[in-house]
Structure 1
Amino acid sequence: MATALRLLSGLAFSFLYINAFAFTSISAIDGHVLETWSRTSNYESQKEADAHALEGCRVEARKSGIGNLASKCKIAMRAKGPGYGAIVCGDGGCSWITGAESSQAAVDAAYDGCSKNYNNCPSENIKYWEDFAGFSAKPVANVTGGDCRPRTATLRCQSTCSNGDCIVSYENGCKMHVKVNSRFDNFQNQWVYPAPSC
């Protein structure tokens, strides 16, 4: 089971954006993933996400009648990337994904992973979540001189990018230079640059 968890973790990491600020952790007990998995997402620090995932795993272990194994809960996956995640459990284990571009992409990838590794994976009512807390492209230089973004509740912008170098233009005339990090898109089988957020 430990090998399966590492394999699933590796698959999940390939969908991540790099250097973002939304943190997810999934915790489980090897050999008892179905009864103990716990996911936390949208935390602003990895330490906080890990602590809550581990506690959730211990709670699930006690609910499942294997509280004596609660101390064996460990982090099975960490994701520091914005996007959608999903988990599908079949006979013998679970497959999860995080950092997908849409909830449907996350659901599809988790289901495909489960179907390849386990039997009787459900195709309906798949659990998914979104993980975007704190994510934004970080301004690294400013075309007009400081942070000139409008201070309004809703921001609207347009961006023009060359690879990871982008100029983001706001409605008030502000133009800011931001850098975005590449991420690997398994569907296109290549590294891509996501559009920066406003």
Structure 2
Amino acid sequence: MSKVMEYVKSNELDWQPSFNDVLSDGLNGYRGALIVEEGKQLSPDRKLPPKIQLKQVIMVSDDSGIKFLTCELESFNHFVPMFEKYKEFFTPDSVNVLFVTDLDGNGTFTYEGVEFTAIMLDESSVWNEILELADLEKGDMKKLDAAEKIEKVYEEILDNDVKEAAKSYEEMLELVGESSKQLMGAV
């Protein structure tokens, strides 16, 4: 298990994981959500859902830290708490793609020496968006098991330029608007 996942497990920061295992190349793959700020403890055995979480997380990590992270942030204002919670695991080599529901524009910015690309998320899912960025077809992915899917996305993301227009963190804050995500349900 990677240091990142040891930290996540020992601090009970994983939330509804659908995959957490070693990938074929010895890296660790994770899909699910990660807690940034816990929900209120109602009783010894009941707790509200997290106040802030990284949703739809796809993460690849090794012993040195996070190699690749993509997720949904409900608000760009949650970026700093997220960074503070997991900052010891981000490296200048990490590939980090955040899909944010309240941004009115995209950008790539550097925060404390780590680069992040933040992209508006309005109607789709992180999975659909990252497949598009990685230039992968959904049909090809259906043939793969859970570990192979994460590996394939990671490999392709490393080969593709996921950067948006360079912006400062302060310029990214100016792009915060109303949440534009449309809830999709049965019609």
Q: Which category describes the TM-score, using the shorter chain as reference length?
A: under 0.3
Q: TM (normalized to structure 1)?
A: 0.25
Q: TM (normalized to structure 2)?
A: 0.26
Answer with 1 or 2: which has the greater Rg. Answer: 1
